[in-house]
Amino acid sequence: MTKLPASLPEAERLCGELAAELRPRIGPKTAMIGLYTGGAWLAERLHKLLALKEPLGLMDIAFYRDDYHTNGLHHDPKRTKIPFDVNGRELLLVDDVLYTGRTVRAAMNELFDYGRPASIALVVLADRGGRQLPICAQYCGAKVDVPAGMRLRLKREGERLALALEADSGA
């Protein structure tokens, strides 16, 4: 029997804490890009809380994944929209859950097709461990132990964000 964590961190609280941690580090060259889907939701919230000057960028890394040929494309791929020049920017790359690091690697590969940022800092709501690549978040809301065979996801409940565990169909 799989042991589930007693409780998951409260996503809304973590979002506020991330915004507070990021606020003093925001400069004139800072821009934010969220990864579809959960990372985009989190980025939308953080972008608003931080009142960033540059419009929010959104990224779909489906074509850049190293398992694209195995998994194929999702039924509703979204187009990447980066409404600013990434060259020389201090980018905040936002995702909901950091796991193997492969999604972040794919995002960085795509970002460099748009130009050369001055820096890329990874912002995640939760880090569940299990890295397969040498990638870490510079800003992390919480570390969460996730039982084998389970997946940690960010969900929308009306206007609120919430973390949830669900069975991992790929496990």
Phi, psi of 114 (to 5 degrees): -95, -15
Q: What is the pTM of this model?
A: 0.89
Measured CA to CA, the distance from residue 74 to residue 153 in angstroms comes to 17
Q: Which two tokens stand for residue 101?
A: 């690091």
CB atoms within 10 A of CB 150: 16
Do the beta carbons of residue 86 and residue 32 sit within 8 Å? no
Q: What is the pLDDT along the chain (171 residues), one digit of tens a residue?
A: 444 455 899 999 999 999 999 999 999 999 999 999 899 999 999 999 999 999 999 999 886 655 544 555 554 456 899 999 999 999 999 999 999 999 999 999 999 999 999 999 999 999 999 999 999 999 999 999 999 999 999 999 999 999 999 998 765
52 burial via Cβ count (<10 Å: 0-12, 13-18, 19+):
middle
